[in-house]
A and B are shown apart, each in its own frame.
Chain A
Amino acid sequence: MLKNSTRNNLVRYAYNETGLIDGDQTQRLIDGDPLVENEFKEIVDFINLLDEIKLEPSAECIKRIMAHS
């Protein structure tokens, strides 16, 4: 069972929000523990799933905004 702080670090690392030093430490943790590595992979897989969705407003909506600008 991973600690919450480890999971939080993995989430932050997956979103590229760690600094160079923290990022390096997290990567070492991932490389050194299969449990952590698996957890990280699952987080990234989920992020990739969410990432496949791209939505945008209609062209009419943009036109209405531009008319106001």
Chain B
Amino acid sequence: MVKTHLMDDKDLVSLYQTGDQAAITELITRYKQRIFSAIFFLVKNRELAEDLFQETFIKIINSLRKNHYNEQGKFLPWALRIAHNLVIDHFRKEKLMPLQRDSEEFSVFDVLPQNEKNPEQRIIQDEKVAFVNALLDKLPPDQREVVILRHYGGLSFKEISKMLDININTALGRMHYAILKMREMVNKDVLNGTE
């Protein structure tokens, strides 16, 4: 039996292209949190994030089947680029501004990892997600995008600069200004309205 969890992305892609389903399962398991978190923080709606995540992986699967993948082992940047383009396409089609608010039915519990079973832990996690959401929400879109792609997507600054067609120092600058701004918000307690 092939131990897919020990294989690198490039080998998993090759294995899937020979028809081994375990390879795509491993790629999804490996990257579902990063890709889903990046989509979620960009669209801030669970159902939409799930739809776009699904669409991302269907595109990935179709590309792999057609042998259109040629990223020399750089699976994650490629996958995130697909996800990012789908998010942009969605907002273009809908003519909506990104980062709209969630519906009242939204529960952050629905997007937390399945192993977070303890209710107390879930409440704490719920508060953390809401807190980070609020911080990200107050950032300028270009800074927010870099934070999400670097931190939740796991792309390097070099990969982000390539993806967004910006200079690496611009990407680094946006990240550092985002951190400064978020820190200022936390220090001033803007989020609790006690500024």
Contact = CB atoms under 8 A, between A and B. Distances in A.
Interface of A: 4, 7-8, 10-12, 15, 17, 42-43, 46-47, 49-59, 61-62, 64-66, 68-69
B74 interface: no
Given A53-B128, A53-B129, A54-B112, A8 B54 contact: no
A45 to B, nearest CB: 9
Interface of B: 21, 24-25, 28, 32-33, 36-37, 40, 49-50, 53-54, 57-58, 61, 110-114, 125, 128-129, 132, 147, 150-152, 156-158, 169, 172-173, 175-176, 179, 182-183
Given A42-B179, A46-B179, A65-B28, 10 more contacts: A11-B175, A49-B132, A53-B152, A54-B37, A55-B40, A55-B112, A56-B36, A64-B54, A66-B21, A68-B58
Given A55-B33, A61-B50, A64-B54, A8 B114 contact: no
A47 B183 CA distance: 11
Q: Is the interface of A mostly helix, strand, loop or mixed?
A: helix
B173 A8 contact: yes
Q: Is the interface of B mostly helix, strand, loop or mixed?
A: helix
A15 B24 CA distance: 28
A59 B189 CA distance: 36
25 contacts: A7-B176, A8-B172, A11-B176, A15-B156, A17-B157, A17-B158, A50-B147, A52-B125, A52-B128, A53-B37, A53-B129, A54-B37, A54-B112, A54-B113, A55-B40, A55-B112, A55-B113, A56-B32, A56-B36, A58-B50, A61-B50, A61-B53, A66-B24, A68-B58, A69-B21
Nearest to B64: A69
A8 B183 contact: no
